[in-house]
Every structure is written in structure tokens, then in C-alpha cells.
Structure 1
Amino acid sequence: MAATGSTLGFIFVVKLLSLCLFFGCVAGSLSSGVYWRRAHATFYGDMNGSETMQGACGYGDLIKQGYGLETTALSTALFNDGLTCGACFQIRCYNSRQWCLNETIVVTATNFCPPNYSKPEENWCNPPLRHFDLSQPMFRKIAVYRSGIVPVIYRRVPCVKTGGIKFEIKGNPWWLLVLVYNVAGAGDVVDVKIKGSNTDWIQMSRNWGQNWQTSALLQGQSLSFRVTTSDRRMVESDDVAPADWKIGDVYEGKQF
């Protein structure tokens, strides 16, 4: 006998819930497909966030670059060799009446929480654990400071940014290194192409974090960029940098 629509719907829900339980989901909406997952969170740095600057994603002064202190370092399982840099996460403390505060935060991934294999029972950033090492101000929004570490639930959310995508040109005339930041939407960049006013589109390669490189000689040409994020959306910013662009300058393109 053929399955009815209601039967098929029930089977789908059961299978989806089984997958969710297997992968650590704890709540969510079947219509949206966005589920919360379990992890833990700690904090690093002081209330000024000075120790959270720079980091493994290649960003510099997070205040000037628009990220503020709403940032986090990710454990190996979440960092994905830097591919997750720029992604945004919604996080809230979970299942601890003693330590949890009733607030949800949104943070951008800007750093890496390194594993310590000499302490397999003490280091929360060791694989395969999912862990957020938050800036101290962000941690204090969701949990009592003296707790030190708390269970949390999290999910990916779109990044909301002000202004266009920023391109900071570094390197030298024979080797360009471009930091791509302030990316809205998915936030994590998976592909960058560059074009001089006298060239076709040139594929850039990831150097580290969100720094992208090319050895193409582009001096004296205006520069355009194509940026693709992990959700496969692409935005093209034409003639972002003028022909007299300089190493160390930052140029602003379009936004998702």
C-alpha cells in the first residue's frame, strides 16, 4: 500500500529528529531547518578586549575594522583550518541555572583556540570538541564571570555589517596579499578573484585566514574583486582601488 502524505511527513520528521539527536541538535524549527547545537564556552582577554586583537584569521584592530569585541576564537572542530573565519554565530548559555544569564549574543569568528594534546582531559579546544573562546565582555553577557566555562548552544546566523566589503592591500609590488573583511551574509569567504584594468580575472589563493594572495603584476592598474562566500553567493566590486593604489591602504567595495 502506498504511503500517504501524512505518513511520509511523519517518517521525514522522525528521520530528521534522529539525525538531529545524533549530531547534537537541541532545538529548532523544522520549517527553517536551523537547529541549535551543543558546545562549551570560555573567555580570554580582559574587559578591554586587548588580547583578542589580531589572531589566526588575519584581522588586525577589530575595533577599527568594525568587529568590536563581539568576537570569538574557535576550536579545531569549528575553525576548519581558517575556512570559518568571518562567520557569525548566535550563542546562549544552556542547562546551568547556577551560571547562565538570560541573554543571547551574536559573535564573529576572528581567531583560533589551539588544541593542547598534552592535556586531553583539560583542554576544551581539542578535537572533536566544539568550543567557543569568547572575548570576556561577550562571555559576561551570557554567563556569570567566575563560572569559567559553561555549556552553550549555538547556530550559524547571517552576519550584519555596516558599509561595503573591505580590501586591505599588503605585500609588495611583486606579491599582493589582500585581507578581505567586513563581509555580510554568510561572512566566511571561500573564493576571491582579482582583476586589473588591463587583465582578465585572476584566481587568488588563500594564504591564511582571510588573507588572499597573487603574484600577478598589477601596479598602475585599477583593481576589481569578486568575492564568493560559503553559501555560494558572489558579489563583484569593480574598480574598487584606483590605478594609484598603495600598499597598506584599505578600499571599500560592494556588499552582499
Structure 2
Amino acid sequence: MELHSKYQAVLVCVMLLFPVLCISQDFTTSRATYYGSPDSYGNPRGACGYGEYGRTVNDGSVAGVSGLWKKGSGCGACYRVRCRDAQYCDEYGSLVVATDYGEGDRTDFVMSPRGYSRLGRNPESSAELFKYGVVAVEYTRVTCTFAGANPLIRIHESSKYPDYLALVVLYMPGQFDIVSMEIYQVDRNEWRTMRRAFGAVFDIIDAPHQAIIVRLQLVGTAGRYWAESKRAIPSDWKIGASYDTQLNID
């Protein structure tokens, strides 16, 4: 369940879209670096609270972001990042998912080694970029597309059944920021606002002892709107479990 590869994306762009649409993306100038990782994947203790998902999603091509962090609502955003040295840099660049907070030397992206290596034209070029440590880049936000994966809501490990509930959304498609999360309390006939605990994790004390319906407030290019789950989280939820809520994301 990974993002489409850069080669698949280029092929779709060439075959299905008018050429002007393929080159009309707006890029922002910045800098990128990378962090150490024994297996080149992401950090399971990332500030977004994604756990193992934040380590392996998108085949480990992930990044910590600074200015794009947005107090945690920037978690899960997808970016196309390309470096600017014609001798070493791949024209398409690297597609990364923001799963952590990270600051470098005036950088917007602190990338996993797997993500950083994909900036290069070939393995030899990537090796040269690693020697630089920090490279000039340009980036643009792109639509997240997770092949074969539906949006999931995971019960965060900090939860304590049955009263303290913490949730995090995985595999969110599109170009949306999750700015708020609410759960419906049947006995009160009302929506209750959850607190953003940290990163992408929302929590609530005195959680309902019943099946739980969740809705997300999303902000994207089309504006701000609510997306309500089509399936409830069961009342006997399990810590660490993920539930397919069949969120209706337009």
C-alpha cells in the first residue's frame, strides 16, 4: 500500500494529461538535508505520532518538515521535492510524505535516507548528494495517492481503555490538512471536539462507552468542510488497532 512511483506518475502525466498541465505546478525554493537511520527508513517515534506507519509508508520516503509543520496539521502531506544541481539531480525528484517535525540548516525538509537518495539521477549521483549534506531544492505539494489503501483511523498507543481515547488518521488521500476531529456522543446527542494532543494525534477524556462515529474537519484547495465516517469504531476498541471508517473524502 504505497504511493505510486515517480516513473508511474510521469507516465500518467505524459499519457493522460495535456502537456501544459504537466509543467504548471508551482514550486517553492528551499533546502533539504537528511537524517541518520540504520535501515534508511523513517523514524517510528516521529512527532506526528504515526508509529510504524511513519517509518515505512511510501517505501520509507518520508521527511520531517519545519515551516510546513503547521502545528501538526501538516502531518501526512505529500510533496514532490527536486534538487537543483543539473549534474546530479533527477528531473522528477523525490516524492515524500511528511511524518515528523525536523529542522536543519535553513531547510524545509529533513528527509529519510531513502527519500534523499531519490533526489539523485542514479546511485552514483545520490552518493555525491549525500556528501553535500544539504542541497538546494524546490518543492510543490502533490495529491497523496495510496494504492489499495483506504483511510484508516488507528487507536493510538497512548489510549487507555475505556475512558481515554487517542486517534490518528492514516492513508489520508488528496491534499487536505486535518484541522479538527470530533466524535458523536449518542446519549448527549452532540458532537464532542477532540483535543489535538500532539502532531496528528487527537484525544478525548471520558470517551463514550459505545460505538464511536468520527468526523474530520478538512482544509484544502476547495475550502473547509467536514467528512464523517461511514463506519463506527466499535465500543470494545483495541489499543493499536486500525479501523476502516470508509471516510467520504471528496
TM-score calculated relative to the size of structure 1: 0.73
In the TM superposition, residue 99 of structure 1 has moved relative to its aligned partner by: 3.4
For residue 174 of structure 2, what is the aligned residue in structure 1? Answer: 185
Q: Deviations over 1:194-245 (max 9, x none)?
A: 12444422111211001001123312x1111111222124321134312322
Letter in 2 for 1:155: T
Q: Kindly name which structure, 1 or 2, has the bigger radius of gyration based on alpha carbons.
A: 1
For residue 150 of structure 1, what is the aligned residue in structure 2? Answer: 135
Whether 1:136 aligns to 2:113 is yes
In the TM superposition, residue 69 of structure 1 has moved relative to its aligned partner by: 0.6
For residue 145 of structure 2, what is the aligned residue in structure 1? Answer: 160
For residue 241 of structure 2, what is the aligned residue in structure 1? Answer: 249
For residue 22 of structure 1, what is the aligned residue in structure 2? Answer: none
Contact 2:42 2:62 in 1 (8 A): no
- What root-mean-square deviation, in Å, do the aligned CA atoms of Structure 1 and Structure 2 show? 2.6
Over 3 Å counting, the alpha-carbon distance change for 1:33 and 1:198 in structure 2 is farther
Whether 1:228 aligns to 2:199 is no
Over 3 Å counting, the alpha-carbon distance change for 1:132 and 1:183 in structure 2 is same
Pairwise mapping of residues 1-256 of structure 1 onto structure 2 (< 5 A)? Answer: 34-46=25-37, 48-50=39-41, 52-62=43-53, 66-75=57-66, 77-94=67-84, 96-114=85-103, 123-124=104-105, 129-143=106-120, 144=126, 145-161=130-146, 162-170=148-156, 171-172=159-160, 173-199=162-188, 200-219=190-209, 221-231=210-220, 232-255=224-247, 256=249
In the TM superposition, residue 174 of structure 1 has moved relative to its aligned partner by: 2.4
Match of 1:245, SS? Answer: coil
For residue 14 of structure 2, what is the aligned residue in structure 1? Answer: none
TM-score calculated relative to the size of structure 2: 0.75
- For this pair of structures, how many residues does the alignment match? 213
> Any stretches of 5+ residues in structure 2 without a counterpart?
1-19, 121-125
C-alpha separation between the residues in 1 aligned to 2:98 and 2:137? Answer: 16
Contact 2:165 2:203 in 1 (8 A): yes
For residue 120 of structure 1, what is the aligned residue in structure 2? Answer: none
C-alpha separation between the residues in 1 aligned to 2:55 and 2:239? Answer: 18
Match of 2:116, SS? Answer: helix
Letter in 1 for 2:144: C
Match of 1:42, SS? Answer: strand
Letter in 1 for 2:79: F
